Amino acid sequence: MIIDIFLPLSLVFIMFTLGLGLTVSDFTNIFREPKAFGVGILNQMIILPIVAFIIVSLSGLTEEMAVGMMILACCPGGVTSNMVTKLAKGDTALSISYTAVMSIATVITLPLITGFSMQHFMGAEAPPINIFSLGITMCLITAIPVGIGLLLNTKNKEFATSFEPKASKISTVLFVIIVAGALASEWDAFITNVGTIGPAIVALIIIMLFIGYNSAQYFKMNAKRAVTVAIESGIQNATVGITIGNIIMNQEAGLSPLSLPSGVYGILMYLVCLPFVFLYLRRKR
């Protein structure tokens, strides 16, 4: 019962915090920078799920873990990708625009891809899922909190600016608690599957970083934007994945096995993405 309440409310607050840092221009940048925006969205909405599907099909994951990986591949970037982009001296404004639009778009894409994945990997054993209901739930716990944060930032800029740093710290703590909880509650499943789920997640991150960076260069983007596209392609919002996994397959105790890939990802993304950033910065010196 505590998890059922804590998880969604934590995600609502995290997405609200994301909205506090957004402006209307973050959404309208899509029209000013169509090429840069289009490449990033193509990577996140189409290439990423396809790559994840191929990796999952070849990795020998259990049915639940396979679906969990596909849920993860549908998640938006989140605040983490914005922070890593800033650390990499990338185009932070572009990164924020990606996050803003993808946070809304996944209300549609995540339920559709998740529904397909459950039927493909779990078949008759798949729990019943109402795609429309899942879309409404996604809207309530992601899009609407982002919109409220954006509205508050627009109507009361002074308060939003002063509260946003505190909210970000709280969101970070909530994220750590959620990831730790996901691993602790499914520790036996994690130990059993770490040999397959770990390499699968690392492979997904590395491949998407590579595709993101090189696709941007192929379309003649500068290095600053190329590293931004790479990071946005390789970093997903693990909190969304954990929460949605638990909503779809709710358990009497602990978190759902569908949430475990996102929990593991929440740790591994730093171990893979930060070395990428440091190597990139070293090359640019």
CATH number of domain containing 50: 1.20.1530.20
Question: Rounded to a whole number, what is the distance in angstroms from the first to the last CA of the chain?
Answer: 52
Residue recorded with tokens 């109402």: 130
pLDDT band at 8, cuts 50/70/90? confident
- Count of CB atoms within 10 A of residue 210's CB? 14
Identify whether the C-beta of residue 74 lies closer than 8 Å to the C-beta of residue 47. Answer: no
The amino acid occupying position 248 is: I
pLDDT band at 3, cuts 50/70/90? low
Q: How far apart are CA 25 and CA 150, in angstroms?
A: 11
| SS3 label, residue 235 | coil
Q: Maximum distance among all alpha carbons in the chain?
A: 55
Identify whether the C-beta of residue 239 lies closer than 8 Å to the C-beta of residue 145. Answer: no
With respect to residue 270, please indicate whether it lies within any of the assigned structural domains.
yes
With respect to residue 285, please indicate whether it lies within any of the assigned structural domains.
no
DSSP string, 37-81: HHHHHHIIIIIHHHHHHHHHHHHT--HHHHHHHHHHHTS---HHH
Identify whether the C-beta of residue 89 lies closer than 8 Å to the C-beta of residue 281. Answer: yes
Total residues found in the chain within this entry: 285
Number of domains in the chain: 1
Predicted pLDDT of residue 79 = 76
- Average the pLDDT over 52-68 and give the result: 90
Predicted pLDDT of residue 277 = 82
With respect to residue 136, please indicate whether it lies within any of the assigned structural domains.
yes
With respect to residue 90, please indicate whether it lies within any of the assigned structural domains.
yes
pLDDT digits (tens, 9 = 90+) for 28-53: 776 777 888 888 889 998 999 999 99
Q: How far apart are CA 209 and CA 84, in angstroms?
A: 13
Q: How far apart are CA 114 and CA 111, in angstroms?
A: 5
With respect to residue 92, please indicate whether it lies within any of the assigned structural domains.
yes
Provide the strand spans (E) within the chain.
none
CA torsion 167-169-170-172 (nearest 10°) is 120
Q: Which domain holds residue 209?
A: 2-279
Predicted pLDDT of residue 259 = 85
pLDDT digits (tens, 9 = 90+) for 186-206: 677 777 777 888 899 999 999
Predicted pLDDT of residue 203 = 93
Predicted pLDDT of residue 72 = 92
Instruction: State what percent of residues in the chain have pLDDT above 70.
Output: 94
With respect to residue 166, please indicate whether it lies within any of the assigned structural domains.
yes
Identify whether the C-beta of residue 142 lies closer than 8 Å to the C-beta of residue 9. Answer: no
Predicted pLDDT of residue 208 = 93
With respect to residue 284, please indicate whether it lies within any of the assigned structural domains.
no
Burial 217-247 (b: 16+ CB within 10 A, else e): eeeebeebbbbbbbbbbbbbbbbbbbbbbbb
CA 177 to chain centre: 17
With respect to residue 207, please indicate whether it lies within any of the assigned structural domains.
yes
Predicted pLDDT of residue 54 = 95
pTM, two decimals, is 0.84
Q: Which of the pair, 136 or 126, is modelled with greater confidence? A: 136
Mark residue 22 as left, alpha or beta (left: phi above 0; alpha: psi -120 to 50; beta: remaining).
beta
